[in-house]
Each structure stands twice: as structure tokens, then as C-alpha cells.
Chains A and B, each alone.
Chain A
Amino acid sequence: MSENGVVTTAHSAHLLDDRLRVVLDSVPALMWLANSDGAAVYLNRQWLNYTGLPEDQALGWGWTVRVHQEDVARLTEFWRTLLASGSPGQIETRLQGVDGQYRWFLFSAAPLRDASGTLSGWCGTNVDIDESVRAREGLRNAEHHLRLILDTIPGLVSTATPDGEIEFANRRMLDYFALTLQGLKEWRPVIHPDDVSMVVAMWRRSLATGEPFVMKYRIRRADGAYRWFHSHVVAAHGPDGAINRWYNLLTDIDDRKLAEEKLRASERELRTIVDSIPGLVAIVAPSGEIEMVNRGVLEYFGRTLEDLQQWRMSDSVHPEDLPSVVERWQHAIDTGGPPEWEERLRRADGVYRWFQLRGYPWREADGAIKRWYCLITDIHDRKMAEEALRRSENFLLEVQRLSHSGGWRYDLATDTVESSVEVQRAHAVQPGEDPSRPAFWFDRIHPADRARVETEFARCLHEKTPYQAGFRNVLPDGRTTYQYTTGRPILNQAGDVVEFMGASMDMTDHWLATIELERASQAVRDLQMKMSRAAQIASVGELAASIAHEVNQPLTAVVANGYACLRWLSASPPNIPKAVEAAERIVKDGKDAGEVVRRVRSLFKRTVVEKGVLDINEVIREVMRLLDSYPARQLVTVEIELDATLPHIRGDRVQLQQLVLNLVLNALEALESVNDRARRLLVHSARGDNNAIVIAITDNGVGLDCDAAFEPFVTTKPEGMGLGLAICRSIVDGHSGRLSAERNAGFGTTFTVMLPVESDVSP
């Protein structure tokens, strides 16, 4: 057919006259002629130039090689329709240019008919519509994109005509309601019944005024559930200012709304909590202004928040506290340091109570303080109690100080001691010393007392018995003090000692007074002893010295007066009155001396010797007992060996006591200066020859000249006058006995008393 067609076309084209050809070739458009079968018989120059096809190749159906492959089928169908109907037609196809690019052309064909109306062929133009087609395609793409956007955005979008009829709804909206666009045109049923009247009213208002509106309402989802949406309706205006469309964006805010409600609920709850806090809560702005207070604050002060905000100017804070509170607030605001202090606040009834204010700064992410949360707690009763406690503690401390006493507690588990201030003061705790160590307290104790106290404390601990001890302490400054301490064990349920609780009292003054008293009473005892010795024995060296002094004083005066008398007499002229005075004094002093001698004599000369039956061992024991507290006795090892089988003798008990005492004292004195050996004294009784009793008193002292020993006024003692042994001898003589002294082989002397036993004495 193509070969046939070509022939036909060539034939037809040949029919055009040259003038028409020139015209057609000059038309600035692509033109063509075809025969009645549609095969091209002529393609104008523009056509050939555009496609770059030689005419002979283009004629007939050869031109279709330049049609876009995708358009060929459509074009073929087009032609078939044209040929069948003989009516004109248009189709858009792409033709390939000489440059190889396809462009869109509007292919218009019209039938050519002769006078009889018989179809003789076709003519047509190919108009370049490439740009408009592409623009159209672009538009289509954009619209598609927009729709995609509209369908994709997480919101329900609809548009409405200026009079309010819905004309578009995005896919999400249709899906959300499961309605068609048509179904959505009547939208009232999807609005929550409670909200619909308001939405309608708003919508009407906007339609009337052109104003946009924003509101929140509930709409029904396809499944019947209502959810909160945020609706934003705005109008789009045309160039003339008239509204040409309404847009509505519905955003699901149900979750947010719920969250908000929860938040509000939790705020309410918080408020309730804050109001229920049994304290006062205030929220304060960074500037220091009160923003909010809880109900407790309002009730306490009985003032409004506005009044309270003026607290700096009012009496809400106690006037005495106000300046410092203002200053502290300022300091907190300046430094951000958390406020904390105590202040007195005025209650509604005018009473001020103590409160503790404690603030906590709440900071923004950047660290700036956004507000202060302050908790104001009533501490009045506690503070009063503390005050009372402090007073009572002070009272106790004062009492302890005044009474020099205090408490202590020893905890066994930790092996530590707690002690009160006064006890520590009494023990002069030094810096660096640790009085919680038990050793500290024992270290203070006088070395001579320590072992006793420690032993006693250990015993009480062990036996769970109350403890008491008095002892000396030696303080770091060398002072000696005296403590009296008592304690008792605290037992647990198992009966074990958990701790010892006790009190300690500084008894130094008392102790010193006691010592003084003891010293005084010792002096009294000494004096008594001396007096008894003087009265009963009249033999001790001191007495002798005293007698000598007593005699010597008047004697001295006598001598001096004698000289004076002589001088007054031998002066020229003689001073008789003065000489007389001196002579009178001589007489008087001489009498004094005589009186002394008389007294001494009466001392020696006992009026009656009262002899009775007695046990000499008992006499010795009595004397030794008497000497137990005698200081010199303490330094000597005394051995007493008494023969229990001795017969009784007849004698003067007092004189024999004097005898033994005198000999023993004598021995002790002889031992006084012994330092190079143990001082020993042996008192011994035994049977002697001839039915006699022997008492031997042996010392290892300095020894004496035994021959002269019994002479009066012979002594080895610095203060003695040597009368003692002479008196001893006189006593022994009075009992028909014998007294002898012998130097020992080693050191010292043995005095031996031999007393006869009278036959009529029964044991």
C-alpha cells in the first residue's frame, strides 16, 4: 500500500500549481495536503525544514517516521476515525525536529471536498504547542504534588466555597470520617453535640465578616469516638479582594488536650497538697516579691496575699527580726544562696511565733533563678523547748560548776568515756589530750592511788556492783587535787554491764581541810602522847631539854643580873636603886629556877607505887600497840617474840609500861640515823635463871657507850639530856630487877631487863 500511496501522493502534489505551492511554502506554519486516503501529497517547506526530511521520503506515509513512537498508535487511530467520518479532527502528537528533539504539535486535519461534496483529500496544519503542553503537564504535576501533600500532612484539610460549601477534603479527612466528599458536605453530625452550636456560630460569623477563626472542638471519628481537634479556618482572597475560598485545617489535639487536663488536674492536686502542708509555703519571684502562698500562710497571718506582699513595710515579721530578714533576703537574691533562717512571724491574733524559713531556688536551664520555693515551718514550741532545755542545761552546768561536780559515763562496747564540762575542767584537760580514753582518767591519778582505784573499778565492773573511790589527781601544772567519784553499772536484759554511769566531785578543798584537820589532830595526839609520856615517864629527851631550858633561862637572868648588880654598886657614884632592882630580880629568878627543879623532882618521885599481878607480855603488847601509829615505828622492821608460858609477876603496870616504852623509843631513836641497812628492832621475852623473867630489846642502830649509858645527862641524842635510861634504871630497881645494856656483835645495842617472879604469884 505504501508504494501505491506514494505514487498517488506524488501525483496529487503534482496537481498543485506553482503559485499555490509558493504561498504554502511561505506560510510560517507546518502545513500539508493529503489525498482522500490520508497519504501526504504535499508537505510545505516549513514542515520539511522542521523535520529535515527530504520531500520524497516524507510524502505518502513516510513522514510518520518523525512521529514519537508513543504517539504512533494514537495517530493511526485518529486517521482511521477521520477517514471513516470524513469530519475534521485534532490530535496532539510529538514530532521529531531536525535537531532530534521532539516537540508537541497540534495536528489539525480538515477534509477537502469538491463542488459535488465528494471528499477529494485532506489538508492540515501542525501547530507547535510544545510550550503550552509542557506548561500544562507541569501544572498537572504540581497539582498532583499538592494533592499528595494535602493527603499526607498529619491534619485534616478541607476547602469551602466563599458561601461555605465544602468543595474539597483531603484523603485523611475523608478516611477519618469514612465519608465521601459529598457525604461531608453536611458536616454538622460529625461535630460533638456539645460543641456544634458554637462551631456553627463561629463559622457563620466568619462567613459574614471574612475573619478567620480558631477554636477547639470535638469531632467524631469513623469508629464513633470523639476526639479534640484544633480548627484553624482562614479565607483566601482573590486579586479583587473578594474571598474566593475558605481553608480549614483540623489538627488532632486530643492527646495534648488530655495532657493539659492532666496537668491542670495535677496542678489542682498540687495546690491541694500545698494547701494541706502543715506548714507555710510561699513562692517568691527572683526579685524577692511574693508570688503565691498556700492557704496555710493566709490563715496564719489572716492577711491577703496583697497585704503579705508588703511584708517589708508591715509587722508580719517581728520588728526585731525584720532588718536582718530583709538583709538576708537581699543577700539570697544577690548570691543565689539558699535562704535559711529563723524569724518571728505575726499570727492573725497578734502573737509572734518562731518560724524557720528555708528557701530553695528553682533555676532555669541557663542557671538563672526563676523563683524561690520557701517552706516556713513553725518551730516555736521546739524553740521554746530548746530554750527551756538550754536553761536547764545551763542550770545544771552552773550547779555542777558551783558544786565542783559532774557526770561521766563509761561505755564498755566502745571503751570510751563521756564526761561533763565540769569534770573535764576539774581534770584540767589539755589541748591534744583525749578524755574519751579511759586511760586519760587513770593517768591523772596520783601514782600512789592509781593501782588501788584501777583495781577497785575493775572489781566493780566484774562484780557489777556500785563503784566509789576517793583519790588524788596530779594535774599537768603539778597541782594535786582530790576527786570523789561514784558510779553504778547499767545492765542490759541479759544482765551484762553495758555501761557505768557516775558522778565525780572535786573534793580538793574538803580534802585539804581534812588533811589540815588530821594534821591538827595528829598534833593533838602527839601532844597528848608527849603529855602522857611527860606525865607518866618523865624521861624522854625532849622533856629533859625542856627542863634544862626552864632552868637555864632564870639561871642566865640570875647571872646577868648579878653582873649588873655588881656594876651598879661599883660605879662611882654607886647606883643603889639600880643595884637593888637587879638584886631583887636575882631573888625572883632564883625562885623561878627553884620552882622548876621542884616540879621536876615531883615528876620523878611518884607518890605511891601500886603493885599488882600482871602479865608482862600483855604490858609489852600494850606498849607496842601504842607505838603502832608512831612515825619512827613505821620505818623499822619490828619483831616481837613473846614466851607465852611466862608466869605473872607483881609490879606497877604504869611504871613497867613506861619502862618498856622508854627502852623501845630509845631503840627507835638509835635507829633513826641508820640508812645503810634495814632497821630492825626485836622485842623478846623469855624465862631467865632463878625464876626470873627476861625482856630483851635489841636494835641494830648506832650503839652507845654502855658504861656511861645509865648516868644522867649522858646522851648520844642531839636533843636529849640523857635522863631516860636513868629513870628506867630507877623503875627496874623499884621492882628489884636488873637493867643492863650490851653492845651487839654487829650493830646496835641490846637492853636486858631481868625481873624476879615472886613466889606467891600464880600464873
Chain B
Amino acid sequence: MISDRPVVFVVDDDARIRDALSSLLTSAGLDVLVFASATDFLSADKPDAPACLVLDLQLPDINGLDLQEALVEREAPPIVFITGHGDVPSSVKAMKSGAVEFLSKPFGEDELLRAIDAAVALDRAARLKRSEYAELSSRYARLTPREREVLPFVVAGFANKQTAAELGTSEITVGVHRGQIMRKMNARSLAELVRLADKLGIRPHENH
């Protein structure tokens, strides 16, 4: 299910907190999924949507900070920590590791919703970036090996003639490759092709 409607994951071992947050966030127009433990959260199927994780710092199975570390590798949504013990070292650590906010219980409605909005926005951007890259990658995957060889010359501004000389082929062939590259990469102009290549991390060929 691909949706742009944001979803909030709440992980807290206290049912009272889960129920209250679920009600509050639903009333604010957000989709909410609650989990009693980190394990439940990790093993659950989650919708493919911009998301945010509201995470209790003291979970019975995994410490929230450890879960945060474990999630770094997984394209997991940004985290808003909530805690009963607002101790400084934990909050510093959580923020350093990329937490969006660190809220001490009890917290205000505005604090929480602002933090969730910010987190969802971050996730949305990250997702866009990921999907753009995926799209570009699939375009790039359609290029033949020869076209991939030619691409760095094109984006470096080489004339067909120069490129042909460098690659030991004819000017006409390079011209054909160039047309194919533009078409397959869906680039309307050279400037756009340069921008797409840059996003793909392709370095222009350096003249020497």
C-alpha cells in the first residue's frame, strides 16, 4: 500500500499511554499503529507511507536507544522519544543519533504534534529522495554498457568527435549513443542530464 497519508508508530509498554496517544493522534487526523514492545514493532508489517516513530525510552525488551541504533540501517522513520526520566545523558545521546525530539512525560499536545510533523516531513523528504534515486537508477539500468561509457563524456561537455577519439569509435556512433542516453534517461536537455547524472553520483569524465 503506497500512500502519502502519514502514519505514526507508537511503541510503549504502558497500555494507558498507548491508548491515550492513539486517541490523541487519531483526533489530530493521523493514522496510528501501536506496539507494546520493540520486538512487536520490528516484526510487524508496516505500510509504505511517510511515518514517524514515537518511542518510549524504557522498553521491557530493548532499551529505546539501542533500538534507535538498530533502526539506523533500516530506512526507519525518524524517532520522537518519550520518557519518564528526563535524564540529560540519554537525551543527548538520542538527539545525537538523529532523534527528532526528546519529550519528557507528561508532555504537551503541541510539543508532540510539532515533533511528529517535523519527523513526518523529514521522512517524506527521505522517501522522495529514495524513490527519485530508485527511478533514476532504473533509467540508468536501461543503458547499454557502451552508453554508460559514453555518459561521463557527455555530461563533461565533450563534443561527439572528441568522445569518439577517446573511445576509439566513430563520431556518428557516439551521436547515436548520445541520443539513446537522452531518451532512456528521460532528459529533455543536456543540463537536465547533467543534473540526473549528478544525483546518480556519476562523475563527469575529466579531461587530461
- Which A residues lie at the B interface, using CB under 8 A? 545, 548-549, 552-561, 563-564, 567-568, 571, 575, 578, 581-582, 585, 588-589, 592, 718
Contacts and interface: CB of A to CB of B under 8 A. Distances in A.
B87 interface: yes
Contacts of A571: 27
Contacts of B21: 560
B19 interface: yes
A733 B107 CA distance: 38
A575 B16 CA distance: 21
Contact of B17 (A545, A553, A581): A553
Contacts of A575: 27
A552 B84 contact: yes
A592 B16 contact: yes
Contacts of A588: 16
A567 B27 contact: yes
Interface centre among A556, A568, A571, A581 (most CB of B within 10 A): A556
A697 B179 CA distance: 89
Contact of B105 (A553, A563, A592): A553
Interface in B74-133: 82, 84-85, 87, 105-109, 112
B28 interface: yes
B20 A556 contact: yes
Contact of B84 (A548, A560, A561, A578): A548
Interface centre among A548, A554, A559, A560 (most CB of B within 10 A): A560
Contacts of A567: 24, 27-28, 109
Interface string B1-33: 000000000000010110111011011100000
Contact of B24 (A553, A564, A592): A564
A582 B17 CA distance: 12
Contacts of B85: 545, 549
Nearest to A579: B27
Contacts of B112: 560
Contact of A582 (B23, B106, B108, B109): B23
A26 to B, nearest CB: 147
A297 B18 CA distance: 99
Given A559-B106, A564-B24, 20 more contacts: A545-B85, A553-B84, A554-B16, A555-B105, A556-B20, A557-B14, A558-B106, A560-B23, A560-B112, A561-B20, A561-B23, A563-B108, A567-B109, A571-B27, A575-B27, A578-B27, A581-B23, A589-B16, A592-B16, A718-B87
Interface of B: 14, 16-17, 19-21, 23-24, 26-28, 82, 84-85, 87, 105-109, 112
Interface centre among A552, A558, A592, A718 (most CB of B within 10 A): A552
22 contacts: A548-B84, A549-B84, A552-B84, A552-B105, A553-B17, A553-B84, A556-B17, A556-B107, A557-B14, A557-B17, A558-B106, A559-B20, A560-B106, A561-B20, A564-B20, A564-B24, A568-B23, A581-B23, A582-B20, A585-B19, A589-B20, A592-B16
A347 B20 CA distance: 98
A100 to B, nearest CB: 133
B23 A556 contact: no
Closest 5 CB pairs of A and B: A560-B20, A567-B27, A563-B109, A564-B24, A556-B105
A41 to B, nearest CB: 158
A268 B84 CA distance: 113
A557 B21 CA distance: 8
Contacts, number: 76
Nearest to A552: B84
A530 to B, nearest CB: 18
Given A548-B84, A552-B84, A555-B105, A585 B24 contact: no
A574 to B, nearest CB: 11
Contacts of A581: 23
Contacts of A568: 23, 27
Interface centre among B17, B23, B82 (most CB of A within 10 A): B23
Nearest to B17: A557
Nearest to B19: A585
Contacts of A553: 14, 16-17, 84, 105
A549 B107 CA distance: 14
Nearest to A549: B84
Contacts of B106: 552, 555-556, 558-560
A332 to B, nearest CB: 73
A455 to B, nearest CB: 45
B106 to A, nearest CB: 4
Contacts of A561: 19-20, 23-24
A686 to B, nearest CB: 40
Contact of B27 (A554, A556, A564): A564
A585 B20 contact: yes
A724 B117 CA distance: 42
Contacts of A549: 84-85
Contact of A559 (B23, B28, B84, B107): B107
B14 A563 contact: no
Contacts of A560: 17, 20-21, 23-24, 106, 109, 112
A560 B109 CA distance: 7
B31 to A, nearest CB: 15
A554 B24 CA distance: 15
Contacts of A545: 85
A552 B106 CA distance: 7
Interface centre among A559, A588, A718 (most CB of B within 10 A): A559
Contacts of A592: 16
Contacts of B109: 560, 563, 567
A567 B112 CA distance: 14
Contacts of A589: 16, 20
A549 B17 CA distance: 13
A180 B20 CA distance: 161
A556 B23 CA distance: 13
A561 B14 CA distance: 14
Contacts of B27: 564, 567-568, 571, 575, 578
A554 B15 CA distance: 10
B10 to A, nearest CB: 10
A283 to B, nearest CB: 86
Interface centre among B14, B19, B85 (most CB of A within 10 A): B19
Nearest to B22: A564
Nearest to B25: A564
B194 to A, nearest CB: 49
A556 B17 CA distance: 7
A488 to B, nearest CB: 53
B16 A557 contact: yes
B84 A585 contact: no
A552 B17 CA distance: 11
A635 B28 CA distance: 54
Contacts of A556: 17, 20, 82, 84, 105-107
B24 A563 contact: yes
Given A552-B105, A552-B106, A563-B109, A578 B23 contact: yes
A582 B85 CA distance: 25
A730 B135 CA distance: 71
A580 B84 CA distance: 27
A401 B33 CA distance: 56
B28 A557 contact: no
Contacts of B84: 548-549, 552-553, 556
Contact of B16 (A548, A563, A578, A585): A585
A574 B64 CA distance: 36
Contact of A564 (B17, B23, B87): B23
A44 to B, nearest CB: 148
A560 B27 CA distance: 11
A564 B24 CA distance: 4
A551 to B, nearest CB: 9
Nearest to A561: B20
A718 B91 CA distance: 14
Contacts of B24: 560-561, 563-564, 567
Contact of A557 (B20, B26, B87): B20
Contacts of B17: 553, 556-557, 560
B197 to A, nearest CB: 48
